[in-house]
């Protein structure tokens, strides 16, 4: 952003309303476990990216589903299988058969509008949450559901589309000296969860900048575009709250229900992640209150602006009241009005009117009204 004034003029363009997702009524009446993708982002084909590593070796490749069995049979290291694209329900169902994933879990993966959650099954751990990205205040917030399944040294991640916040984790995996290379798959799960939540702080920072811009605009130039932007920002904060607030329950559930699937070495990191989650929620609540406060500030600024306009109009009307009275008196056509025949009567009346105007302005000034 080059200048604050340009931001104030264009902020209503930055907060364009997001396209609202249609209601997923086609799932009504279906039995539990019915596999229907409820999202709108469809890729041409599903991508399966595989990363396998240990303390010494690292290998990364994009594979087809038919190659997955071969990698699982040869598995001696930790596997991270990143599946991008959820529209191919049949392919995901086959993945579910390979890893023994329950139908209800697959249904949760495909239902991308659901609330973030964590469930511990007998042989695997499932978690889903919202991955939120916003590279700058000029860009709208991009929200996407991401799901995790941890099972026997294998971590499965399911994304709706390409582009995520895991580049730093992938970069660390290439370095054999990094801690993630020397730990189990549960630490990799923690690293990915940490990357998602760390990115929330960046999103909150950008949201804070937007609110500051709107606050300045509400104070200096409250108009219709400002009100539109304020309502969009308020709705954006409501969407963020729905995505962020359940995270406290999700991350807290790892300590309560997944202690047998999370190693003792990783549990302190999960607890630290829980504290970061609380901080994100508190920051979000502060910005939510600020958004409401900016809306109140807009209404107050608009009211003050209207009061100033009414004050000016009232002063003008007050000044013209005695002038109108004098003009009305001398507008009566009576013959016995001696002033009508004065040689300098017209100039006396104009002078009297001028003195009246000056006197009233002086009085208003002494009272602090102008």
Query: What's the CA gap between 202 and 200, in Å, rounded?
Result: 5
43 is written with which tokens?
């890729």
Place of tokens 């608009």: 302
pLDDT confidence of residue 80: 93
pLDDT confidence of residue 301: 75
CB within 8 A of 351, min separation 6: which ones? none
Give the percent of the chain with pLDDT over 90. Answer: 12
82 is written with which tokens?
């990143």
Which regions in the chain score pLDDT beneath 50? 1-23, 25
**How do strand 78-84 and strand 154-159 relate by DSSP bridges?**
parallel
pLDDT confidence of residue 30: 66
Alpha carbon separation from 219 to 3, 45, 52, 307, 312 (Å, rounded): 17, 50, 55, 15, 20
pLDDT confidence of residue 33: 64
Contact at 8 Å (CB) between 108 and 114?
A: yes
Query: What's the CA gap between 78 and 173, in Å, rounded?
Result: 11
Query: What's the CA gap between 66 and 345, in Å, rounded?
Result: 109
pTM beyond 0.85? no
DSSP-assigned letters across all residues of 37-85: -------SS-EEEEEEE-SS-EEEEEE-GGGHHHHHHT--SEEEEEEE-
Query: What's the CA gap between 289 and 298, in Å, rounded?
Result: 14
Contact at 8 Å (CB) between 170 and 162?
A: no
Q: pLDDT of 287-345, one tens digit each?
A: 888 877 777 777 777 777 788 888 888 888 888 888 888 888 877 777 777 777 777 77
Task: Residue 18: name the closest of 232, 167, 251, 248 by CA.
Answer: 232
**How do strand 142-151 and strand 154-159 relate by DSSP bridges?**
antiparallel
Contact at 8 Å (CB) between 118 and 126?
A: yes
Query: What's the CA gap between 199 and 131, in Å, rounded?
Result: 8
pLDDT confidence of residue 49: 92
Domains in the chain, please, with CATH?
Answer: 29-301 (3.30.460.20), 303-367 (1.20.58.340)
**How do strand 78-84 and strand 58-63 relate by DSSP bridges?**
unpaired
Query: What's the CA gap between 297 and 230, in Å, rounded?
Result: 11
The secondary structure element, H or E, covering residue 128 is strand 125-133
pLDDT confidence of residue 189: 93
Buried b (16+ CB within 10 A) or exposed e, 170-185: eeebeeeeeebbebbb
């Amino acid at each position: 952003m080059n200048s604050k004034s340009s931001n104030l003029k264009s902020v209503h363009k930055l907060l364009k309303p997001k396209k609202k997702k249609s209601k997923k009524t086609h799932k009504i009446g279906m039995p539990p476990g019915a596999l229907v993708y409820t999202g709108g982002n469809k890729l041409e084909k599903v991508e399966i990216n595989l990363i396998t590593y240990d303390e010494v070796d690292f290998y990364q490749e994009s594979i087809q589903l038919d190659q997955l069995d071969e990698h699982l049979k040869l598995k001696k290291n930790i596997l991270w299988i990143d599946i991008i694209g959820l529209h191919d329900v049949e392919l995901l169902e086959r993945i579910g058969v390979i890893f023994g994933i329950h139908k209800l879990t697959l249904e949760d993966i495909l239902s991308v509008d659901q609330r973030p959650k964590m469930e511990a099954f007998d042989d695997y751990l499932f978690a889903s949450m919202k991955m939120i990205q916003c590279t700058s205040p000029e860009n709208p917030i991009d929200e996407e559901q991401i799901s995790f399944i941890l099972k026997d040294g294998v971590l499965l991640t399911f994304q709706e589309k390409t582009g995520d916040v895991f580049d730093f984790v992938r970069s660390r995996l290439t370095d054999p000296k990094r801690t993630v290379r020397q730990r189990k798959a549960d630490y990799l799960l923690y690293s990915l969860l940490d990357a998602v939540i760390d990115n929330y702080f960046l999103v909150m920072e950008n949201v804070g900048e937007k609110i500051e811009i709107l606050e300045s605009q509400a104070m200096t130039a409250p108009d219709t575009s400002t009100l539109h932007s304020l309502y969009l920002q308020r709705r954006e904060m409501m969407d963020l709250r729905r995505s962020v607030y359940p995270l406290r329950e999700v991350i807290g559930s790892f300590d309560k229900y997944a202690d047998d699937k999370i190693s003792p070495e990783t549990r302190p990191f999960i607890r630290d992640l829980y504290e970061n989650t609380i901080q994100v929620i508190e920051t979000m609540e502060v910005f939510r209150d600020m958004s409401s406060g900016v809306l109140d500030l807009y209404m107050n600024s608009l009211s003050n602006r209207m009061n100033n306009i009414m004050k000016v109009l009232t002063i003008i009307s007050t000044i013209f009241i005695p002038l109108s009275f004098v003009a009305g008196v001398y507008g009566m056509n009576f013959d016995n009005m001696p002033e009508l025949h004065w040689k300098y009567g017209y100039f006396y009346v104009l002078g009297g009117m001028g003195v009246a105007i000056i006197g009233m302005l002086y009085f208003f000034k002494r009272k602090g009204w102008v």
